[in-house]
Amino acid sequence: MNWWQVYYRLREAREGIARNTWASLATIVLLTLTLLLFGGFLWLNANLSQVATMLERQVQVRVFAEEGTPAATLLSALESLPGVANVELLDGETVYAELAPVFGQETLMRALPTDAFADSLSVELVDPERGAETVELIRAVEGVGDVIWGQGFARVLYRISNGLQKGGVILIVGFFVAAFLMSLTSMHLAIMNREVEIQIQRWVGVGPWGVRAQFLIEAFLLGLFSSVLAAAVFLYLGEVIQGAIAALLPFMAGQLTSPLLVIGIVLVTGPALALIGGGLASQRAIGTGDQ
């Protein structure tokens, strides 16, 4: 393909889009919406993973040692209990260092007594649903002081976020397929509308790939417009949503996944899906053999 060919193909693709203004607009709008929903759920899912990780920590059991008993000495006793998957020693200073940037040093010092940052043990349960039984066993261990658990709300949220995450994956796949089918259908219609053009090209000696090039470029441009639009909307909404979440849930600030990665995925997905759709539609209509 030489430069004139590229120039003519681009011109024909542009004219093709302009000629079918309403059909092209409908394709762009629908593809943009689908990409927005696709990207939205992708972002939601990524953030739900973060939330789920945080909540998972909440459903773990926090064990404090009795005064005078070093927390580390309880480690092996707790590990041997049935229903315990893993035990981790949490250094009080590390916990403080993690929380201070989020809530502010002064707030933490005012709100929490000094020993809130004593060394503790984080116990991961094999089955959080049967946690109550395991917690009773932990409380019975000699040297164990406070045991913090029973955060029912966190458990419910954990279940919900897990459910949403699984549902989100299905929705993401669904919107992905919808975006693909949309580009396939619109290119199929574009090809059907230009049957005479295709015939003329064949009569003057354009090969199958030459004929397909115009439709591939057209599909790529439609996909690109759609994904740029979706990315722009997403960039704006992403900032707004992130701001709102940070204001409502300060502990989530800095934990949210940046929308930039999702925007990047949307920018690549739109043209890629449109190209595949255009390629398949033109293959069905034009074929690949040079008869």
Partner 1 sequence: MGKTTLLKLLYREELPDQGHVYVGGNDVTRVRGSRLRRSMGIIFQTFRLLEKKTAFENIAYGAEVLATPPVEVRNRAREILELVGLGNKANRMPGELSGGEQQRVAIGRALINRPQLILADEPTGDLDPENSSRVIEILDTVHREQNVTVLFATHAADIVDRLQRRVVRLDHGRVVSDASGGYWTGREAGAP
In the complex, the residues that contact partner 1 under the rule CB under 8 A are 1-2, 4-5, 8, 19, 196-197, 199-208, 210, 290-291
In the complex with partner 1, which residue's Cβ is closer, 2 or 114?
Answer: 2
In the complex with partner 1, which residue's Cβ is closer, 8 or 236?
Answer: 8
Helix orientation angle between 208-248 and 152-193, rounded to the nearest 10 degrees:
150
In the complex with partner 1, which residue's Cβ is closer, 140 or 196?
Answer: 196
Query: What token pair was written down for 65?
Result: 């040692």
Cβ of residue 284: shortest distance to partner 1, in angstroms?
19
Contact 275, 286 (CB under 8 A): no
Contact 52, 263 (CB under 8 A): no
In the complex with partner 1, which residue's Cβ is closer, 196 or 248?
Answer: 196
Strand, coil or helix: 232: helix
Contact 221, 17 (CB under 8 A): yes
Gap between the Cα atoms of 123 and 76, Å rounded: 12
Cβ of residue 291: shortest distance to partner 1, in angstroms?
5
Cβ of residue 267: shortest distance to partner 1, in angstroms?
30
From edge to edge, which strands make up the β-sheet containing 61-65? Answer: 84-90, 120-125, 61-65, 144-148
In the complex with partner 1, which residue's Cβ is closer, 198 or 230?
Answer: 198
Q: Which of 112, 168, 164, 135 is nearest to 63 (CA)?
A: 135
Identify the H or E element spanning 278: helix 259-286
Cβ of residue 3: shortest distance to partner 1, in angstroms?
8
In the complex with partner 1, which residue's Cβ is closer, 208 or 238?
Answer: 208
Cβ of residue 271: shortest distance to partner 1, in angstroms?
24
Cβ of residue 215: shortest distance to partner 1, in angstroms?
13
DSSP 271: H
